[in-house]
Amino acid sequence: MNLEVIKHCGSVLFLESIFPGIFPQASWISPNEVSIPYIYAIPASFYDGNPKIRVMHEDKDLKLHCRRLNVRFGIRTFNDVNPRLTFVVDASSRLCEVLDKCDVHVKKRYAECGGGSEWKPVVNRDYQNICLQLKATVLDDDIVKWETKIEIYHNGIFTNQRIEYSNFDSQELERLFIPGVFVDAFFSFGTFDTMKKAGINLVVDKLIIHH
């Protein structure tokens, strides 16, 4: 590697550290980059009287990037007060370890903030999988406007296909999230407290689907 390449790489790393917005993917880290002792949780706000908790790593909001997650169960739609779209993926042992520690901290902080709902663990330990939630707004006529950035790859090559709108509760969604396909997920942490159940939401900011 010549000196100019080294200087260029150093400049990129320097800019990433100062201006993460220029390189948005630098905001996410892999589970292997997480230092377990530096995970903690702090109160964020109250919504409808329910506490919201932030998951932190060192001095930043924890955001994870996981490659090649196997889709175990395809898209599920919940058309209730706040329509939600979720799917289930298998989780590595390391990802489960990180999420379990997040769960411990958030559950403790939730109780300290006065939360009283039954806590739902973020990892399904019976099958070692997790549920990911997509960000979307349901418009009139059941049209979904995706807030999660979704890209489609075929044989490792970007197809220039980005999903911005689709029908809610349709075969179109099922074709995107076929069990057995792999996804790269960039997700952040939220919390929910509804119908006397509380826990962590893993909210997908960007998703790459490999077909």
- Is 197 within a domain? yes
Specify the residue for token string 């230092």: 35
CA angle 207–143–160, rounded 5-degree value: 40
Residue 100, domain extent? 24-210
> Does some domain include residue 3?
no
Q: Do you know the residue count of the chain?
A: 211
Instruction: State the DSSP H helix or E strand holding residue 17, giving kind and residue range, or none if neither.
Output: helix 3-18
Whether 155 is in a domain gets the answer yes
Strand partners, 57: 39, 60
Q: How far apart are the first and last CA of the chain?
A: 35
DSSP helix/strand/coil, 178: coil
Q: What's the CA gap between 29 and 67, in Å, rounded? A: 11
Residue 2 lies in a domain: no
Q: How far is CA 82 from CA 47, 53, 77, 142, 206, in A?
A: 14, 19, 11, 13, 21
Query: Is 97:42 a contact under the CB 8 Å cutoff?
Result: no
Could you tell me the CATH number of the domain that includes residue 78?
Answer: 2.40.50
Predicted confidence at residue 10, as pLDDT, reads: 41
pLDDT value for 141: 63
The rounded distance, in Å, linking the Cα atoms of 151 and 10 is: 29
Task: Round to whole Å and give the CA distance between 84 and 196.
Answer: 18
- pTM (two decimals): 0.81
Total domains in the fold of the chain: 1
Q: What is the mean pLDDT of each run of 10 residues along the chain (211 residues)?
A: 39 41 69 97 73 92 97 81 81 98 96 92 96 82 78 78 63 82 96 90 94 83
Strand order, beta sheet including 50-57: 39-47, 50-57, 60-61
Task: Report phi then psi at 96, rounded to 5.
Answer: -60, -40
Residue 181 and residue 71: Cα distance in Å, rounded?
6
Q: What is the DSSP string of 113-180?
A: TT--SEEE-SEETTTTEEEEEE-EEE-GGGEEEEEEEEEEEETTEEEEEEEEEEESSSHHHHHHS-TT
Q: Is 178 part of any domain?
A: yes
Q: What is the reported pLDDT for 21?
A: 46
49's tokens: 């009287």
Asked whether residue 73 is domain-assigned, the answer is: yes
Q: What is the pLDDT of residue 60?
A: 94
